[in-house]
Amino acid sequence: MHWFILKRLLVFPILIFVFSIIAFVLIQAPPGDYLTSYIAELAQGGTTIGQEEIDALRRQFGLDRPLYVQYGIWVSNLLQGDLGYSFEWRRSNAELIGERLMLTLALTTLSLLFTWAVAIPIGIVSATRQYSVVDYVFTVLNYIGLATPNFLLALVLMWLAFDNLGISVTGLFSPEFQNAPWSWARFGDMMSKIWLPMIVLGTAGTAQIARVVRANLLDELGKPYTEMARAKGLPEWRLVLKYPTRVAIAPVVSTLGWYFPQLLSGGLVVAVVMSLPTIGPLLLRALIGQDMYLAGTIILIYSVLTLIGTLVSDILLALLDPRIRMDGA
């Protein structure tokens, strides 16, 4: 067991190293650099900028050096905990990403909890009442849930909320709390707004997870120990919740590995539509403006979070299922 975890941990730095190269290549892929898009933007506003000034800026940003040097500087700074500097915002990346990262993680975690809270009961009900009306209704809803892009759901819910309640639910904070320091009032304000993005993001995976729970529980319900408990006269609902459900929802924990990253990157589009102060819109802007160190750092953060998710779920799965442990060792 320890050996298994150790092995996974040893691969971890190698993967992060590979990902840092991929992230760097990705942000270098567009033709030109930040200055070309900056100059284009200035030109659109009617301002022109002299060649000397451009050269000076290029030197100041270190864009005149060869690529591998730029990569080296970026990575060695990252290793020292320095996330770099955003050309566009003229601020340090750590400052820009910090709060947004926290909000992103908070929102993603809440959505995950929401998904479980909805999907597990649905799965249990569908399995215990297999082929009933309820089961069919949930199956249909599952299919529709899989087919709906979540930004569309966001738009429709925002529209309904506006039409019926007259409120415009965009962002996570009311204007007066936008730039305020953290306080209970600000936290309360956020909580009053976070439910809509939470529902939008959470419903995305509900369909899949409910399906997993349903299938697992159906397998468990036919087993002898369930029959045994039934024969002993345990009330049906208590029986179901007490024994087979516990076994059936265990694999759901392992969905953390693929579902958490999926939520994280799926939230990106929703965040743009609902103008949430999360990482997504920041990445989009940085990519379009070729603000390369900001974009690269964010992509790397996404990758690392994805890796951590996979690692955590592998470990959890190994704890739950000895067969996998043997396989991995």
Q: Could you list the residues that contact another protein (CB under 8 A)?
A: 15, 18-19, 22, 26-27, 29-31, 143-144, 146-149, 151-152, 155-156, 158-159, 162-163, 168, 170, 261, 264-266, 268-269, 272-273, 283-284, 287-288, 295, 298-299, 302-303, 305-307, 310
Q: Is the dihedral of CA 237, 239, 244, 246 positive or negative?
A: positive
Residue 91 beta carbon to another protein: minimum distance, rounded to whole angstroms: 21
Residue 227 beta carbon to another protein: minimum distance, rounded to whole angstroms: 26
Contact 267, 104 (CB under 8 A): yes
Nearer to another protein, 244 or 289 (CB): 289
Residue 97 beta carbon to another protein: minimum distance, rounded to whole angstroms: 14
Nearer to another protein, 162 or 195 (CB): 162
Contact 210, 122 (CB under 8 A): yes
The Cα 239–Cα 201 span in angstroms is 33
The Cα 137–Cα 93 span in angstroms is 47
Residue 92, helix vs strand vs coil: strand
3-state secondary structure 261-294: HHHHHHHHHHHHHCCCCCHHHHHHHHHHCCCHHH
Residue 201 beta carbon to another protein: minimum distance, rounded to whole angstroms: 13
Nearer to another protein, 199 or 284 (CB): 284
The Cα 91–Cα 98 span in angstroms is 12
Nearer to another protein, 124 or 153 (CB): 153
Residue 225 beta carbon to another protein: minimum distance, rounded to whole angstroms: 27
Nearer to another protein, 194 or 240 (CB): 194
